[in-house]
Amino acid sequence: MTIIIHKNMTTETQKLNTTEFNTHSQEYEEVASQQQKTVNNANKKRVQKRKDELKDARQTMSKEDFKKFKEERKAEKQKFKEDKLQARLYKMSPNRRKRYDENKKRRDEIREKKKGMTKDELKQYKQELKEARIKKKDERKQQKKEKVIKKEENMDEKQLARFTKRLKRTEERRNILNSMTEEERVKYKQDKRQKNKERRERYAYLKENWTDTLPETVDHLIIDGNNLRGGGPRRHSRDYVIAHIKKVIDASPQLANANVICMFDRHIAKYEPIEGIDVQFSGDVIADDVIVKICSTLNGTALVITCDRGLALRVLDLGGKVMRNKSFTSIIDGFTICH
């Protein structure tokens, strides 16, 4: 089913504005929960397997062989940790790697200084470290305030109102956190860490399933128009985006028979129509939600072009495919991604 959004909202479009499009809908949570259960079960099986191996070795090996076996296991564990650390360092940006090295150097220096200290000296040294941390924190707060003041000076009234609203929301969250008891704060931080872990796992799943090349057959091609346009004062016009999409389609045999939809946010606006591309506008509904609704009603291979990770995950959960903007537009040179 193809949904076309006109100036006057249709009954079908009004039906789309429901909770089923919420990113954290029940279906979305169920998929994420199932993936988490799969990861947890795999970890439990791996731990249990290692325990069983250790138990069998203790029963079947001599004392010396078992000691050697434990040393080998320890070396394997250490190597696994080192490989994991190297993989983490490899993913870091140059600036983050620099901060990591500086912090590591500082921790090593502190550890060396603590060696050989008496109990009183160690207590005094810890107090000095605490005072230095507090001083550094206050300096960062002052720098942040100065930065905010400088930023506000360059804003117009509309930007200043949005910025003030965001600061107020941040302050409210901080006050709520400060009003919590110690147990509530610990629980809050644990929940936050768990959510962050689940989000990282979801993003890792997405990273594995991005496609950088067009599938052999594409029945439906859906483009997240506003995401492709970019942001800021240098964002592309709709006509520029649609024209480049047409060039890519003409140069790609896989898209020859595809039903092409380019979805833009908000109500219908001026654009130059091009044959073969169905340009639609989401109206009062978020474009991401309309794209998900369309994908859920289509038969055949659906490919969505977007760099929005939230939308991409929702499309993958429906069995569709996702492709980054750059991978799609670079099929034909001459398109600049705006941010």
pLDDT per position as a tens digit, 269-296: 888 889 999 999 998 889 999 999 999 9
What distance in Å separates the CA atoms of residue 324 and residue 308, rounded to the nearest whole number? 9
Task: Say if residue 37's pLDDT is above 80.
Answer: no
**Residue 32: predicted pLDDT:** 57
The mean pLDDT of the chain is 84
Task: Say if residue 12's pLDDT is above 60.
Answer: no
In a domain, 296, yes or no: yes
Task: Say if residue 186's pLDDT is above 70.
Answer: yes
In a domain, 255, yes or no: yes
Percent pLDDT > 90 in the chain is: 36
* CATH number, position 300: 3.40.50.1010
Task: Say if residue 7's pLDDT is above 70.
Answer: no
Task: Say if residue 65's pLDDT is above 60.
Answer: yes
**Residue 305: predicted pLDDT:** 95
In a domain, 295, yes or no: yes
What distance in Å separates the CA atoms of residue 322 and residue 203, rounded to the nearest whole number? 13
Task: Say if residue 195's pLDDT is above 90.
Answer: yes
pLDDT average, residue stretch 164-185: 89
Q: Report the domain count for the chain.
A: 1
At 97-138, the pLDDT tens digits run 999 999 999 899 888 888 888 889 899 999 998 999 999 899
**Residue 270 Cα distances to 17, 239, 273, 291, angstroms:** 24, 9, 9, 21
> In a 10 Å sphere around its CB, with 0-12 CB exposed, 13-18 middle and 19+ buried, how is residue 262 labelled?
buried
In a domain, 261, yes or no: yes
Which band of pLDDT confidence, cut at 50, 70 and 90, is reported for residue 151? confident
324 contacts: CB under 8 Å, gap ≥ 6: 210, 212, 305, 306, 307
**Residue 56: predicted pLDDT:** 84
In a domain, 241, yes or no: yes
At 242-275, the pLDDT tens digits run 999 999 999 999 998 999 999 999 888 888 889 9
Which band of pLDDT confidence, cut at 50, 70 and 90, is reported for residue 3? very low
In a domain, 120, yes or no: no
Specify the range with the lowest mean pLDDT, choosing from 12-26, 85-99, 273-287.
12-26
Which band of pLDDT confidence, cut at 50, 70 and 90, is reported for residue 90? confident
What distance in Å separates the CA atoms of residue 172 and residue 170, rounded to the nearest whole number? 5
In a domain, 150, yes or no: no
- Domain that includes residue 245, residue range: 216-329
Q: Which residues of 78-93 are buried (b: 16+ CB within 10 A; e: fewer)?
A: eeeeeeeeeeeeeeee
In a domain, 242, yes or no: yes
Percent pLDDT > 70 in the chain is: 88
Q: What are phi and psi of 283, to 5 degrees?
A: 70, -135
**Residue 277: predicted pLDDT:** 92
